[in-house]
Homo-oligomer: A and B are copies of this chain.
Amino acid sequence: MDCTLKNIADALIKSYHEVGGINRIDCGNLPSKRKIAAICEQLLRLLFPGYHDEEPVASDELEMVTNERIAELVQQFEVEIAKSLRLRDADTIGDDVRTEAHRMVCTFLSELPRLREVLRTDVVAAYEGDPAAKNFDEITLAYPCIEAIAIQRVAHVLYRMDLPLIPRIMTEWVHSLTGIDIHPGAEIGTHFFIDHGTGVVIGETCVIGNHVKLYHGVTLGARSFPKDENGRVVKGNKRHPNVEDKVTIYPNATVLGGQTTIGKSSTVGANVFLRQSVPAGSFVSNEAEYLRVINKSTGEILHEFSDTPAI
């Protein structure tokens, strides 16, 4: 190594000693993003057998294949969960952590059959809600919303078990793949469909009912945050909306605030910016969205109209 590179390395090592907070040296390892990504892919194979597999799955091999997959998943996931638990409780000694990690992975895996029932309702909702959907196979295999909601439902189980870091790594993995950013904390009912998906943001304390349909670019977010006496945002309170059963929210609408409830069977129009509750059966639209059409050559105004959607 030439002396320039040696100087560069020395400067960087000096920086590792001086610039804290973004190093992890001499401490327990963090869960690995790549391993969590591999675990997410294994979970998708377990949840939707035959869709993410290279080879066909035959019924006379199903038991063997499933047992093998679970054994493999448990082995890998325990290691990552143990790393995560050491972050939560630094004093816990090694053996206990591994036992607790095993217990957690078993509790988590026991939830998969229930999640499969819910995910089936999501596939049904996509089929019924999208005129372009040809069949269940296309949806289960290719629709980004199915990956996004499957991983969020998995991450939500781990979030409720108070496991640090891993749930968020999971949802950010699928956010990267799909452009759909659902916090692991969000509570989401059955028959949930997100069409297209890119740009959707669903915050940590959202509560979403059954048969809810969102389009791309919808934000269910927080209003500006209360700050404490040091000017820091207060963490942990209810900050994101409630969306009741059978609500549809059109592209790029923004609904904000922990006290905001969209009542049952309501529709929120495209581009609406809403921070107040609306009762059941409402249709919310931008009233004053007047459009002007001008002839580019003459400057003549051809047409002015409000393109507010009809109910």
Contact = CB atoms under 8 A, between A and B. Distances in A.
A303 B23 CA distance: 47
Interface string A251-279: 11010000000000111001111111011
Contacts of A33: 52, 141-142
A161 interface: no
A307 B214 CA distance: 21
Given A251-B254, A297-B281, A51 B24 contact: yes
A23 to B, nearest CB: 5
A120 B201 contact: no
A216 B234 CA distance: 21
Interface in A280-304: 281-297, 299, 302-304
A9 B70 contact: yes
B140 A22 contact: yes
A26 B291 contact: no
Contacts of A274: 291, 307
A41 to B, nearest CB: 10
A56 to B, nearest CB: 4
A58 interface: yes
B22 A123 contact: yes
A117 interface: yes
Contacts of A198: 175, 179, 181, 198-199, 201
A47 B164 CA distance: 23
A100 to B, nearest CB: 14
Contacts of A13: 62-63, 66
Interface string A149-187: 000000000000000110011001001111101010100
A29 B53 contact: yes
A98 interface: no
A28 B56 contact: yes
A27 B8 contact: no
* 10 closest A-B pairs by CB: A24-B50, A15-B113, A287-B292, A287-B290, A29-B56, A288-B290, A283-B294, A26-B59, A8-B109, A142-B172
A93 interface: no
